[in-house]
């Protein structure tokens, strides 16, 4: 399997704060890769840099052979990367249907969009039930599903997920994670950022551990889950 996303030694600043200090990582086609680490370690910053919301000061981001570092966010969506942002960020004042339409904004293939809308509604039947409802009236779990459905509407080859478990009940977290696995099995490569390291490692192929803007550990998810250091720091013993 080929490398889909390759990040080489990127540095990202928030104003004067050096948030990402020379991170390199890669995601192979078909994988689920997870970034875990404490709050403020730079996980979200890394995703936001890949999706073009932040520009790296130096370093390379290569997606399917093209350097995408510094491209505007809307161009990166067109290139085939879609992000489910932290906190879901649905358009609360628009209907569920309009949110999904916006997910397909960059596409011109009307037939393909209609087909993908069907697929999203099959995967998330509750969105179909509520498609004319204002998105702000959905429950937290439904909003997460909408944010995921919306991201899938651009038909991404790489899906970036930022804290999909945030604020959800344990049962719902399980459901969301099994949907993530399912999305992966139908051919979408996934880069997942999570504070819930247990859950993330349980579905990922490989993982990177971030600490204050640097990668401190990386490897197969199962091995990391078994490692003493990781257990102590991130898995509660």
Partner 1 sequence: MDFASQFVQQLINGISLGSIYALIALGYTMIYGIIKLINFAHGDIYMVGAYIGFFAITMIHVSIVPALLISMVVTGLLGMLVERLAYKPLRQAPRISVLITAIGVSFFLEYTSMYFVSPTPRTFPAVFDNVSLHFGSFMVNGQQLLIFGITFILMVVLTYIVQKTKIGKAMRAVSFDVETAQLMGIDADRVISITFGIGSALAAAAGVLVGVYYNSIDPLMGIMPGLKAFVAAVLGGIGILPGAMAGGLILGVIEALVSGFISSTFRDAAAFAILILVLLFKPSGLLGKNTREKV
Which x/- pattern, by CB under 8 A, does the window 156-195 give for partner 1? ----------------------------------------
Which x/- pattern, by CB under 8 A, does the window 32-71 give for partner 1? -------------------xxx------------------
DSSP 37-63: ESTTSSHHHHHHHHTTSS--SEEEEEE
* 74 scored as a contact of partner 1 (CB under 8 A): yes
* Chosen residue from 103, 149, 164, 213 binding partner 1 by CB under 8 A: 103
* 82 scored as a contact of partner 1 (CB under 8 A): yes
- In terms of Cβ atoms closer than 10 Å to its own Cβ (0-12, 13-18, 19+), residue 199 is buried
Would you call 68 helix, strand, or coil by DSSP? Answer: coil
* Residue the block writes with tokens 């093209």: 66
Q: Supply the angle between the helices 140-152 and 170-185 in degrees, to the nearest 10.
A: 10
Subset of residues 123 to 162 that bind partner 1, contact rule: CB under 8 A: 150-151, 154
How many CB atoms lie under 10 A from the CB of residue 192?
27
* 78 scored as a contact of partner 1 (CB under 8 A): yes
* 101 scored as a contact of partner 1 (CB under 8 A): yes
Helix (H) or strand (E) holding 116: helix 110-123
* 72 scored as a contact of partner 1 (CB under 8 A): yes
Binding site for partner 1 (CB under 8 A): 51-53, 72-74, 77-78, 82-83, 85, 89, 91-94, 98, 101-103, 105-107, 150-151, 154
């Amino acid at each position: 399997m080929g490398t889909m996303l390759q990040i080489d030694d990127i540095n990202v600043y928030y104003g004067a704060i050096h948030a990402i200090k020379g991170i390199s990582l890669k995601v192979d086609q078909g994988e689920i890769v997870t970034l875990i680490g404490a709050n403020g370690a730079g996980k979200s910053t890394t995703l936001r840099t890949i999706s073009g919301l932040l520009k790296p000061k130096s370093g390379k981001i290569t997606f399917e052979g093209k350097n995408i570092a510094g491209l505007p966010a809307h161009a990166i969506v067109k290139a085939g990367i879609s992000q489910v942002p932290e906190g879901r960020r649905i358009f609360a004042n628009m209907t569920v249907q309009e949110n999904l339409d916006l997910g397909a904004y960059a596409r011109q293939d009307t037939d393909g969009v209609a087909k993908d809308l069907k697929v999203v509604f099959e995967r998330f039947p509750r969105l179909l039930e509520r498609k004319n409802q204002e998105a702000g009236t959905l429950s937290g779990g439904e909003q997460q599903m909408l944010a995921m459905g919306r991201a899938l509407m651009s038909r991404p080859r790489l899906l970036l997920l930022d804290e999909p478990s945030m604020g959800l009940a344990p049962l719902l977290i399980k459901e969301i994670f099994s949907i993530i696995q399912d999305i992966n099995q139908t051919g979408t490569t996934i880069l997942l950022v999570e504070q819930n390291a247990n859950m993330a490692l349980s579905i990922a192929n490989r993982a990177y551990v971030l600490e204050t803007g640097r990668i401190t550990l990386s490897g197969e998810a199962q091995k990391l889950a078994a490692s003493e250091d990781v257990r102590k720091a991130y898995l509660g013993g």
